[in-house]
Amino acid sequence: MPITLKELADFCDAQIEGGNPSILIDTAADITSAQTGQVTQLTNSKYTRYLKESKASACFIAHDFAVDTIPDDIALLRCTDPEMAFINAVGLLHPAKTYGQHIAPQAVLGANVSVDESVYIGAFAVIGDNVSIGEGSVVLAGAYIGNNVKIGKRCRIYPYAVVYDNVIMGDNVIIHSGAIIGADGFGYKFRNHVHVKVPQVGNVVIADNVEIGANTCIDRGALGSTTIGAGSKIDNLVQVGHNNQVGKNVIMCGLTGVSGSCTIGDYAILAGSSGIADHVNIGQGAVVMARSGVAGDIAAGTQVFGSPAKDKRTAYKEQVAISKLPELLKTVKQLEEKIQALEKQGKDEN
Amino acid sequence: MPITLKELADFCDAQIEGGNPSILIDTAADITSAQTGQVTQLTNSKYTRYLKESKASACFIAHDFAVDTIPDDIALLRCTDPEMAFINAVGLLHPAKTYGQHIAPQAVLGANVSVDESVYIGAFAVIGDNVSIGEGSVVLAGAYIGNNVKIGKRCRIYPYAVVYDNVIMGDNVIIHSGAIIGADGFGYKFRNHVHVKVPQVGNVVIADNVEIGANTCIDRGALGSTTIGAGSKIDNLVQVGHNNQVGKNVIMCGLTGVSGSCTIGDYAILAGSSGIADHVNIGQGAVVMARSGVAGDIAAGTQVFGSPAKDKRTAYKEQVAISKLPELLKTVKQLEEKIQALEKQGKDEN
Amino acid sequence: MPITLKELADFCDAQIEGGNPSILIDTAADITSAQTGQVTQLTNSKYTRYLKESKASACFIAHDFAVDTIPDDIALLRCTDPEMAFINAVGLLHPAKTYGQHIAPQAVLGANVSVDESVYIGAFAVIGDNVSIGEGSVVLAGAYIGNNVKIGKRCRIYPYAVVYDNVIMGDNVIIHSGAIIGADGFGYKFRNHVHVKVPQVGNVVIADNVEIGANTCIDRGALGSTTIGAGSKIDNLVQVGHNNQVGKNVIMCGLTGVSGSCTIGDYAILAGSSGIADHVNIGQGAVVMARSGVAGDIAAGTQVFGSPAKDKRTAYKEQVAISKLPELLKTVKQLEEKIQALEKQGKDEN
């Protein structure tokens, strides 16, 4: 759905600098590849050189971002926040797929299901007993929703996501394909030479605006709830064990694991492939860097790296020191010899 | 289903100390959150302070576990093994969902399927040819069972678990949602500049009482079987490659990977995000600590840490040493200067 | 389907040495377990001892591979490339399951679907609108194919694989169960204390002869495509983030994660549980060893190890040095004392 440059600028609250306001823009693209009819963005001076050779028709750019000569055909779209303006433009030019009211004849609905009349339920979806689904929510093909699940408004459950019994989720929650919400936590007691299963009878509670990536697992509480706070975003293939209490606006990147009974503070960031041992508290806004393993509490606002994880500055110092270690071994060997010589010399003199 | 304190105590073989034997208990809860009508447990003196402020109605506790003053309303349930007593209480108060005999009309069953009359098969489950399913087993909605699969008694296959052809499993096996049992192993030969696929024609054999977590993958043998021994418990998002021989009562925690053709001894523990290279033997009862990477054989009973993994004590000593390394570099620098001074002094004297 | 030794030898272009050309071979097996009627291979002298005790009926072996006395009943199948000969033999004796033309009545097909007449579509498969599926391709039970997806010839999509909208794949592509192709990339901008979702409107393009393992996730591009080059093989539980450009014949082992916007050169190998930060270039033929974490570009042909990853030789030197570090600390302590003594001695003398 192409729109004029003028319409785009108005929609995104930007001022046109150069170019022709009536040309048509049909799609958005990265600055390295944008072509005629496309809008792009420039927010990092590292990429300024791409603009100079670009065939894009328009480029969002901050009011004070300096550029020299640029092709005549590019209109700059000056604005205060080009990243957000570009997000809005992408949303406008590439509208998300929408789903109207529909309950597929191949879906199976349990007893006492309360589904808002606007809800979409795809083929082969299975909805258990006593489930409620709020206004505008979409349950795509083959998604499995267990008994007593509450799904808020405008949620989207992708194909083959599995939501076990008793899970509660707020509004605007997105659950990607293959995510498993509410499977049993991993709890056993070792007795008489075997691992006895500890019943896992709690649930998972997901607040508003949470997004959960493909094939991510969030286990139910053993007793009580595993909770994910509002606005938290969880990437693909993440393991969140039982009874973790994840705060608001937390970021967890791919292949990260959080054992169990941890508290993850608001705004914390767990970078890719990081891991948290059980019963650990991660303070508000703390950052666990990629591939780090955390076994003890992390204070708010700190950044840690390594396995075992340490304060980032300490870890970096140690990394630098390790790179000097092979040389240090040689140096110390030489010092030993020199000292031996000095000692011998001392003895010879006496 | 609330029961009296007396009934609960009798069921769990505990002696009531204080409280009223006729009060009703309806659910179980953690000691940090238990309320009136709930039973909890206290097994760790770190949590004794919670008991003092608790509103729980009853608490399992060992015969010799010392507590001072506790609220009048809490009955202590003295017993020899409070953890097991509590597990039993949870099982009684929060009974697991049961599934009666049922074959959903939307399920698809292949030819020559032998299903015990007590079996439950959910909607959209797909059962291949020549499959047998034993007494009391449950195949939930959308689970996929390939050809020639044998499923023992009292197994539970959760939604969208996938069991490829020729997999054999014993009794009481639990396979959680999204687990993929028997996909092709990752085997190629590099010829003429391309990776030629090695046919993966073996299978997976799972013994009794195994539990396999959500989204875990257990690859079939290239030839022969990948085997999981009785009583082993595998967490979510674990990768078990082709032809691994996993012993009995092994524990594998989330995000762990075992490459291929390894032997994992009975009672071994592979902690979270650990990894084992191929053709490695992990001895009986060995512990691979979290995030460790094992490239060579590990003797029975040893604990290893790090990547590359070393004996835990060695690894810890090295970790301590690394923390002293930045200081050591400075010290050696000073020693160099002192020795230079001593050498100069020696020369000046001669 | 047993065949004679002679037929097998002819099929695999091997010369029979010993044994009876008319005996029947029915299956293939590993040299450690092969029995009468089975063919095996010997390519590694470490396993020669197994041949001496083997009950196998035949064994592929290189023309110049020296063996002493072997059991009379074993025929050696001398050939130039015993590994490839064995692969061919396995393919012959254990033929892959084939699927004839079939569209299950329980499958759901969207509008404007163009499916070659030879295609197999299993029960509960969901095929979106404007999908094309080429000759000989197989979409197994419950696979989900979104709108505007193109599937080439002879592809195989296993149960519950999910292919989101607009994904394009070439010929001979294999996608295992639970793999999620084209879910949203993990992109947000932090504004007004919340993470604002960046629309993910690109797609995934998979070239010919790619194999994608079980429960692996390949995210769509934010804008533009995430691409997987011809002949690349991706193991289970791998995360490939948005806008990565993966070259040809790349190998990615289990539990590896590639963040986003990376370039992975042809023939690169990412070993198990390795990780690549975003915007990183991995050169052609580079090897990232197991559990390594790469934060910066890697030159073609180099091997790196560790987290942060370094050139393999540097990393190994450092590992050796670390193992000497606890001893070094003691040595330096002694040197300090000796120097103190020398200094004292020097002063005493003056």
Alpha carbon distance B71, B52 (integer Å): 6
Q: Which of A:225-254 have CB within 8 Å of C?
A: 231, 233, 235-237, 249, 251, 253-254
Q: Does A189 touch chain B (CB under 8 A)?
A: yes
> What gap in Å lies between CA B86 and CA B28, rounded to an integer?
8
Give the model's pLDDT for residue C345. Answer: 85
Q: List, as one string, the DSSP characters of A46-79.
A: GGHHHHHT---SEEEEETT-------TTPEEEEE
Report DSSP letters for C278-321, one per residue.
TT-EE-TT-EE-TT-EE-S-B-TT-EEETTTTEEHHHHHHHHHH
Per-residue pLDDT of chain B (350 residues; tens, 9 = 90+): 799 999 999 999 999 999 899 999 999 999 999 999 999 999 999 999 999 999 999 999 999 999 888 888 899 999 999 999 999 999 999 998 899 999 999 999 999 999 999 999 999 999 999 999 999 999 999 999 999 999 999 999 999 999 999 999 999 999 999 999 999 999 999 999 999 999 999 999 999 999 999 999 999 999 999 999 999 999 999 999 999 999 999 999 999 999 999 999 999 999 999 999 999 999 999 999 999 999 999 999 999 999 999 999 999 999 999 999 999 999 999 999 999 999 888 888 76
Sole residue written with tokens 């969902």: B97
Cβ of residue A259 closer than 8 Å to a chain B Cβ: yes
Kindly determine whether residue C144 and residue A160, on different chains, have CB atoms separated by under 8 Å: yes
Chain A residue with the nearest C-alpha to that of B39: A223
Q: Which residues of C touch B178 (CB under 8 A)?
A: 178, 215
Q: Do the chains contact at A328 and B323, CB–CB below 8 Å?
A: no
Pairing of strands B144-145, B102-103: unpaired
Which residues of chain A are within 8 Å of residue B176 when distances are taken between CB atoms? 180, 183-184
A269: CB partners within 8 A, 6+ apart: A250, A251, A253, A286, A287, A288
Give the span between the Cα atoms of C266 and C19, in whole angstroms: 44
pLDDT for residue C68? 83
ipTM value of the model?
0.96
Testing the interface with A: which of C126, C328, C345 to mutate, by most A Cβ within 10 A? C126
133-162 in B: which are within 8 Å (CB) of C? 142, 144, 147, 160, 162
Q: Is B329 near chain A, with CB under 8 Å?
A: yes
Supply the DSSP string of A126-166, one letter for each residue.
EE-TT-EE-TT-EE-TT-EE-TT-EE-TT-EE-TT-EE-TT
Are A223 and B124 inside 8 Å of each other by CB? no
**What is the domain partition of chain B in residue ranges?**
3-93, 161-308, 316-350
Q: Locate the DSSP E strands across C176-302.
A: 180-181, 188-191, 194-197, 203-206, 211-212, 217-218, 225-228, 233-234, 239-240, 245-246, 251-252, 257-258, 263-264, 269-270, 275-276, 281-282, 287-288, 293-294
**How close is the nearest chain C Cα to the Cα of B96, in Å?**
27
* Cα-based angle B220, B225, B226 (whole degrees, multiple of 5): 60
The closest alpha carbon to A74, from A43, A50, A46, A45, belongs to A50
Query: Residues A124, B124: contact at Cβ < 8 Å?
Result: yes
3-state helix/strand/coil string of A233-301: EECCCCEECCCCEECCCCEECCCCEECCCCEECCCCEECCCCEECCCCEECCCCEECCCCEECCCECCC
Of A198, A223, A335, the CB nearest to B335: A335
Cβ neighbours of A321 in B, within 8 Å: 322, 325-326, 328-329
Residue type for B24, please? L
Among all chains, which residue has been given the structure tokens 């300024």? Answer: A48
Q: Could you read off the pLDDT tens digit of each residue along chain A, which spans 350 residues? A: 799 999 999 999 999 999 899 999 999 999 999 999 999 999 999 999 999 999 999 999 999 999 888 888 899 999 999 999 999 999 999 998 899 999 999 999 999 999 999 999 999 999 999 999 999 999 999 999 999 999 999 999 999 999 999 999 999 999 999 999 999 999 999 999 999 999 999 999 999 999 999 999 999 999 999 999 999 999 999 999 999 999 999 999 999 999 999 999 999 999 999 999 999 999 999 999 999 999 999 999 999 999 999 999 999 999 999 999 999 999 999 999 999 999 888 888 76
Q: Which CATH number fits domain B3-93: 3.40.50.10490, 3.40.1390.10, 3.20.20.80, 3.40.1640.10?
A: 3.40.1390.10
Whole-angstrom distance, CA of residue A255 vs CA of residue A271: 9
Contact (Cβ atoms closer than 8 angstroms) between residue A267 and residue A286: no
Among the partner-chain residues C106, C178, C233, the one whose CB lies closest to the CB of B180 is C178
Q: Which chains touch B (3 or more CB pairs under 8 A)?
A: A, C
Strand partners, A151: A133, A169
pLDDT confidence of residue A40? 97
From C165's Cα to the closest Cα of chain B, the distance in A is: 21
- Closest in B186, B307, B332 to C332, CB measured: B332
Asked if the Cβ–Cβ distance from C215 to B219 is below 8 Å, we say no
Q: Which residues of C touch B191 (CB under 8 A)?
A: 81, 84
Q: Return the residue of A nearest to C159 by Cα.
A: A160
- Residue B120: strand pairing partners: B102, B138
CA A327-A332-A338 angle, to 5 degrees, is 130
CB contact under 8 A, A321 and B319: no
Q: Which of residues 1-40 of B touch A (CB under 8 A)?
A: 28-30, 33
Give residue A54's pLDDT: 93
Class of domain B161-308: mainly beta
Nearest by Cα to B122 from B165, B159, B177, B97: B159
Pick the catalytic residue: C63, C94, C195, C242? C242
The share of chain A scoring above pLDDT 90, in percent, equals 93
- Distance, in angstroms, between C178 CA and closest chain B CA? 7
- For chain B, helix (H) and strand (E) counts, in that order, are 4, 40
Cross-chain residue pair C237–B239, CB shorter than 8 Å: yes
**Structure confidence at residue B350 (pLDDT):** 65
Closest-CA distance, A15 to chain C, in angstroms, reads 21
DSSP string of A10-25, one letter each residue:
HHTT-EEESS-TTSEE
Q: Does B91 touch chain C (CB under 8 A)?
A: no
pTM of the complete model beyond 0.90: yes
Contact criterion met (CB < 8 Å) for C277 and A290: yes
Residues 275-314 of A with CB under 8 A from B: 275, 277, 293, 295, 307-308, 310, 314
Minimal CA separation from A21 to chain B, in Å:
51
Question: What residues in A contact B30, CB-CB < 8 Å?
Answer: 223-224
Q: Nearest residue of C to residue A28 by CA position?
A: C223
Tell me the nearest-neighbour CA distance from A152 into chain C, angstroms.
19
Could you tell me which residues are beta bridge partners of residue C62? Answer: C79
Is A237's CB within 8 Å of C237's CB?
yes
∠ CA C162-C166-C172, rounded to 5°: 65
Contact A199 B90 (CB under 8 A): yes
Instruction: Compare CB distances from B257 to C90, C123, C272 and report the shortest one's residue.
Output: C272
Q: List active site positions of B.
A: 242
Interchain pair A142, C164: CB under 8 A: no
Could you report the average pLDDT of every consecutive run of 10 residues in chain C (350 residues)?
A: 94 95 96 96 93 94 91 94 98 93 97 97 98 98 98 98 98 98 98 98 98 98 97 98 98 98 98 98 98 98 97 97 96 93 82
Angle formed at CA C12 by CA C11 and CA C13, multiple of 5 degrees: 95
Q: How far is A254 from chain C (nearest CA, A)?
A: 7
pLDDT at A1: 73
Q: CB of B214 within 8 Å of any CB in chain C? A: no
| Alpha carbon of B327: minimum distance to chain C alpha carbons (Å) | 10
Assess whether C242 carries a catalytic annotation.
Answer: yes
Which member of B162, B196, B335 has the closest CB to residue C87? B196
Residues contacting residue B237 through CB under 8 Å, at least 6 positions apart? A215, A217, A237, A239, A257, B213, B214, B215, B216, B254, B255, C215, C237
Interface test with B, best of C44, C273, C320, C344 (most B CBs within 10 A): C273
CB contact under 8 A, B321 and C319: no
User: Nearest Cβ partner of A176 from C183, C314, C320?
Assistant: C183
Could you give the dihedral angle defined by the CA atoms of residues A76, A79, A83 and A87, in that order, rounded to the nearest 10 degrees? -90
For B144-167, give one letter per residue: b (16+ CB within 10 A) or e. bbbbbbbbbbbbbbbbbbbbbbbb
Q: Which of C289, B302, B339 is nearest to A333 (CA)?
A: B339
Among chain A residues, the shortest Cα distance to C178 is held by A178
| Alpha carbons C208 and A209: distance in angstroms, whole number | 38
The secondary structure of residue C47, as a DSSP letter, is G
What pLDDT score was predicted for residue A350? 65
- Burial zone of B322 (CB within 10 Å; 0-12 exposed, 13-18 middle, 19+ buried): buried
Question: Which one is catalytic: A94, A102, A176, A242?
Answer: A242
